[in-house]
Amino acid sequence: MGTNADKHARQKQGRTARAQEARKQMGRTKRRQRLMSITGGVLAVALVLGVLIALVQPSGSGSDSSTTTTTTETATTTTANDRPAADLPAPPKGITLTNPTPCPPAGGTEKRVVKFAGPPPTCIDPDATYTATFSTNKGDFTAELDPKAAPVTTNNFVVLSRYGFYDGVPFHRIVPGFVIQGGDGDGDPWGNNDLGYSIPDELPPGPESYVDYSLAMANAGPDTNGSQFFVVLPGGGKQLNPANYSLFGKVVEGQKVVDEIGRLGNAEQKPTEAVVVEKVTIDEKK
C-alpha cells in the first residue's frame, strides 16, 4: 500500500493525462470544423460560379424570325462590314396616274410613273413565260417569273417595270447573308414609299420555298405588298420563317452579280456603295 503522497501523485498524473486527452480531442474537433468550413466555402463558391455560368451561357439557337418588311427590319448578320453607309441617289421624277391604271405597252412607257390611282388590271398572258432582267451599275442579272404560282404579284411586277417605276431606283437595304432589297420608288424616307395601292399575299407552302436567289415581295404586314422586292442571298432563306412573303420568281442568270451586291451592306443593313437598278426589262415569250 502506498503512502498518501504516492496517492496524490497518481491522482495528479491521472488529471494531467485526462487534460492532455481533452486538449487533443478539442484540437481534433477544431480541425474537423475548419475542414468543414473550407469545404462549405468551396461548395458555396462553386454554386455561385455555376449560377453565373448559367446566366452568361448562350441558350440553344433556333430559327431566326427576322422579317423583310418595308418598315422595321430585325435581321441579324455576322458578315456585314463596318464601312459607313453610302449616299443613295433619289429616284428620277415621275408622274401620277389619277385614272384607273391601263395596261402599259410591252415596250414600256415614255414617262416614268411613280404613283397610281389603284391596282392594275390583269395585263400578262397566262400562257406566256416572263423573265425580268435587272440592269444595274454593278452588272445585270435575270429572274424567271412565276405567273402560275403568283399571278397577281407577277402581273403587278411586270406592269410596274413597263411603266418604268424601277428605273433609277437603288437597292436601299443590303444585308450580307440574307437579302438585297429595292423597289422604293421615291426614297423619302428609304423603305417607306406610297405606291397608291397594295395587292394581296400569294404565299408559298412553307419557308423551305425560299431557296437561294429567290425573288419575293417585301411587305409591312399581311396583304400590304406594293413595289418593294428582295432577292434571297445564299443561305438567307432559313431566316424567312414563317413564309410571310409572296414568292414570284428566281434569279437564273447573273448570280455572281447578286453575290457582289450582297457584300455591299454594313451592320446597319445599309448599302456601303450605291447600287442602282438602271432599268428592268421584261421579256415575254408565248
Q: Give buried/exposed letters for 9-43 (b at 16+ CB in 10 A, else e).
A: eeeeeeeeeeeeeeeeeeeeeeeeeeeeeeeeeee
pLDDT at 73: 43
Location of C-alpha cell 411586270: 158
pLDDT at 214: 98
- Can you name the residues that pair with 232 across neighbouring β-strands? 179
Task: Please state whether the peptide bond connecting residue 170 to the residue before it is cis, i.e. omega within 30 degrees of 0.
Answer: no
Q: What is the DSSP string of 236-271?
A: GGGG--S--S-EEEEEEE-HHHHHHHHT-BBTTS-B
Handedness of CA 85, 86, 90, 92 (dihedral sign): negative
pLDDT at 50: 35
Q: What is the DSSP string of 39-53?
A: HHHHHHHHHHHHHHH
Q: Using a cut of 0.85, tell me whether the model's pTM lies above it.
A: no
Burial of residue 79, with CB atoms counted within 10 A of its CB: 0-12 exposed, 13-18 middle, 19 or more buried: middle
3-state DSSP assignment of residue 37: helix
pLDDT at 211: 98
Taking alpha carbons only, the member of 274, 286, 207, 283 closest to residue 252 is 283
Q: In the chain, which residues have pLDDT < 50? A: 1-5, 7-8, 29, 33-67, 70-74, 76-78
Question: What is the DSSP secondary structure assignment for residue 209, as one 8-state letter?
Answer: G
Number of helices (H), then strands (E), belonging to the chain: the values are: 3, 10
3-state DSSP assignment of residue 120: coil
Domain 95-285 has CATH 2.40.100.10: yes
What are the grid coordinates assigned to 157, written together?
411586277
Alpha-carbon distance of 171 to 138, in angstroms, equals 11
pLDDT at 51: 29
Location of C-alpha cell 428582295: 230
CB 231 within 8 A of CB 183: no
Domain residue extents for the chain: 1-57, 95-285
For residue 50, the number of C-alpha atoms closer than 13 Å in the C-beta half-sphere is 6
Burial of residue 230, with CB atoms counted within 10 A of its CB: 0-12 exposed, 13-18 middle, 19 or more buried: buried
Taking alpha carbons only, the member of 143, 147, 172 closest to residue 266 is 172
